[in-house]
């Protein structure tokens, strides 16, 4: 996949030791003064020239400077387009988790090798074709990463959509490309694995904050409430004190799931009381005034006393899991997410399929996603 574009005309002012047919794309010669090599960069939203080398530079030096990103991405390249998007107001308003995902996709695209040497990021953004994008996706899939390929495709599609009105790019070559078939990942942590992680979270959460090995003390409470009440991570994260009712814990489910009240059990009550006690401790240490209404009192707070964000919770959980793997508590293959605890909660619920569905508040089609239990049935028997 070689860079495309018009062939350069011979320039008699370029130093004689430079093979003009082998100049890297986006590098230009300015013959004024002693002469200089420059590239175009984005400065305050507009293209500007930036010197990268003097007249004595060798052809190998110019290629090396381009590879190192000297002067920033070359104007008009894919790397330049991605840099402009990440510097835009649009990007800065995205959720932190989305920004992190896009940053990973950007690195993959910029550094992905292309036929004949070079990297995908050096191709000209305005000349990229659907064929180029399709080949990129297929190569990532062949490496065994269909999910990564789809992330990259969706990212490219969004960047080109933004670049149309902002950078004047007419076409979106990522539009219309079919996504790769992803493998279904429905993890169901065994009870022994869950118990090990829960004990680890309790142990590390009891250590003094910011000491070696310490973890946020609320993580075991989050895990228990998510599992026992069959909650998504965001549903646990946004629990408020008013949801603790005399009969049990009232859920506030998302994505069309039906709310219900989960009856108190000693284990559920212990997790809920611990979460409220931790919240009161944060408020007391910060010396903050208490919210008057229980419906305004978020149960899980960060160290600064503000409601814990979903990104903050996800990051804290991932750090806990990584530490558990490092400590040999679980293996890499046994790792699980907070969302997997909803699946475990639904699967472990006693009773009929209808009982499970009522407990989880799920629609019939979603039961096949969250209930991984195997029914015990009678053998066939002819009358």
DSSP H or E segment with residue 43: strand 36-43
Site of tokens 């026992």: 228
Predicted local distance difference test score (pLDDT) of residue 2: 43
Strand partners, 262: 249
Contact between 123 and 74 under an 8 Å Cβ cutoff? The reply is no
Whether the predicted pLDDT of 44 surpasses 60: no
Note the pLDDT tens digit of each residue in 161-206.
999 999 888 899 999 888 888 766 678 899 999 999 999 999 999 9
Report the range of poorest mean pLDDT among 29-43, 317-331, 368-382: 368-382
Exposure of 116 by Cβ count < 10 A (0-12 exposed, 13-18 middle, 19+ buried)? Answer: exposed
Copy the structure tokens of residue 207. 């250590």
DSSP state of 218: T
**Rounded distance between C-alpha atoms, residue 322 and residue 330, angstroms:** 9
Predicted local distance difference test score (pLDDT) of residue 183: 66
For residue 291, give Cα distances in angstroms to 212, 234, 271, 283, 299: 33, 21, 22, 10, 11
Note the pLDDT tens digit of each residue in 117-155.
778 988 889 999 999 999 999 999 888 888 889 999 999
Strand partners, 301: 307
Predicted local distance difference test score (pLDDT) of residue 4: 47
Phi first, then psi: give them for residue 86, nearest 5 degrees: -70, -15
Q: Which of helix, strand or coil describes residue 328?
A: coil
For residue 1, give Cα distances in angstroms to 121, 124, 136, 263: 12, 12, 10, 61
Q: Please tell me the pTM assigned to this model.
A: 0.60
Residue 43: count of CB within 10 angstroms of its CB: 11
Predicted local distance difference test score (pLDDT) of residue 6: 61
**Predicted confidence band of residue 45 (pLDDT cuts 50, 70, 90):** low
Copy the structure tokens of residue 232. 């998504």
Whether the predicted pLDDT of 42 surpasses 70: no
Nearest to 300, CA basis, from 228, 227, 235:
235
Mean pLDDT in residue range 317-342:
92
Mean pLDDT in residue range 236-264:
93
Nearest-Å Rg of the Cα atoms of the chain is 28
* DSSP string for residues in 137-161: HHHHHHTT-HHHHHHHHHHHHHHHH
- Give the CA-trace dihedral at 8, 9, 14, 20, to 10 degrees: 50
Domain positions in the chain:
20-75, 84-167, 191-370
**Rounded distance between C-alpha atoms, residue 338 and residue 197, angstroms:** 12
The dotted CATH code for 191-370 is 1.10.443.10
Nearest to 155, CA basis, from 131, 177, 187, 139:
177
**Predicted confidence band of residue 3 (pLDDT cuts 50, 70, 90):** very low
Predicted local distance difference test score (pLDDT) of residue 322: 92
Copy the structure tokens of residue 95. 């959720």
Mean pLDDT in residue range 305-320:
89
Average pLDDT of every residue of the chain: 88
Predicted local distance difference test score (pLDDT) of residue 344: 93
Predicted local distance difference test score (pLDDT) of residue 1: 42
**Rounded distance between C-alpha atoms, residue 277 and residue 217, angstroms:** 11
Contact between 64 and 89 under an 8 Å Cβ cutoff? The reply is no
Whether the predicted pLDDT of 56 surpasses 80: yes
**Rounded distance between C-alpha atoms, residue 266 and residue 241, angstroms:** 18
Site of tokens 């949801």: 243
Note the pLDDT tens digit of each residue in 201-241.
999 999 998 899 999 999 999 999 999 999 999 999 999 99
Whether the predicted pLDDT of 292 surpasses 70: yes
Query: Of all residues in the chain, what percent carry a pLDDT higher than 70?
Result: 94
Exposure of 166 by Cβ count < 10 A (0-12 exposed, 13-18 middle, 19+ buried)? Answer: middle
Predicted local distance difference test score (pLDDT) of residue 69: 59
Copy the structure tokens of residue 160. 């080109």
Site of tokens 């990103």: 69
**Rounded distance between C-alpha atoms, residue 68 and residue 171, angstroms:** 29
Query: Of all residues in the chain, what percent carry a pLDDT higher than 90?
Result: 51
Phi first, then psi: give them for residue 275, nearest 5 degrees: -65, -40
Predicted local distance difference test score (pLDDT) of residue 119: 86
Predicted local distance difference test score (pLDDT) of residue 159: 96
Predicted local distance difference test score (pLDDT) of residue 310: 86
Contact between 204 and 220 under an 8 Å Cβ cutoff? The reply is no
Report the first-to-last Cα separation within the chain, whole angstroms.
68
């Amino acid at each position: 996949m070689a860079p495309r574009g018009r062939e350069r005309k011979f320039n008699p002012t370029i130093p004689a030791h430079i093979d003009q047919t082998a100049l890297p794309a986006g590098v230009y010669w300015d013959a004024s003064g002693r002469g200089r090599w420059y590239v175009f960069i984005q400065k305050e939203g507009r293209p500007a020239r930036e010197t990268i080398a003097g007249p004595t530079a060798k052809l190998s030096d110019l290629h090396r400077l381009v590879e190192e990103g000297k002067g920033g991405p070359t104007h008009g390249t894919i790397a330049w387009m991605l840099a402009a998007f990440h510097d835009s107001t649009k990007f800065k308003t995205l959720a932190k988790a989305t920004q992190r995902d896009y940053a990973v996709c950007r690195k993959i695209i910029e550094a992905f090798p292309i036929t004949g040497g070079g990297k995908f990021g050096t191709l000209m953004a305005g000349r990229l074709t659907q064929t180029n994008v399709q080949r990129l996706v297929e190569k990532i899939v062949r490496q065994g990463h269909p999910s990564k390929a789809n992330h990259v495709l969706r990212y490219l599609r969004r960047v080109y959509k933004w670049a149309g009105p902002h950078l004047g790019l007419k076409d979106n070559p990522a539009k219309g490309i079919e996504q790769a078939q992803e493998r279904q990942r429905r993890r169901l942590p065994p009870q022994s694995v869950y118990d090990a992680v829960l004990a680890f979270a309790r142990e590390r959460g009891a250590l003094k904050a910011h000491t070696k090995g310490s973890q946020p003390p609320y993580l075991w409470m989050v895990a228990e409430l998510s599992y026992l009440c069959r909650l998504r991570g965001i549903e646990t994260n946004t629990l408020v004190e008013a949801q603790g009712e005399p009969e049990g814990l009232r859920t506030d489910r998302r994505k069309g799931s039906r709310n219900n009240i989960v009856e108190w059990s000693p284990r559920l009550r212990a997790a809920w009381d611990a979460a409220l006690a931790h919240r009161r401790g944060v408020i007391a240490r910060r010396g903050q005034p208490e919210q008057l209404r229980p419906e305004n009192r978020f149960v899980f707070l960060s160290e600064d006393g503000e409601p814990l964000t979903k990104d903050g919770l996800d990051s804290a959980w991932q750090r806990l899991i990584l530490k558990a793997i490092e400590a040999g508590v679980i293996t890499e293959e046994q790792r699980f997410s907070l969302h997997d605890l909803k699946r475990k909660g639904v699967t472990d619920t006693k009773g009929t399929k209808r009982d499970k569905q009522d407990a989880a508040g799920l629609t019939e089609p979603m039961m096949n996603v969250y209930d991984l239990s195997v029914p015990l049935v009678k053998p066939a028997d002819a009358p």
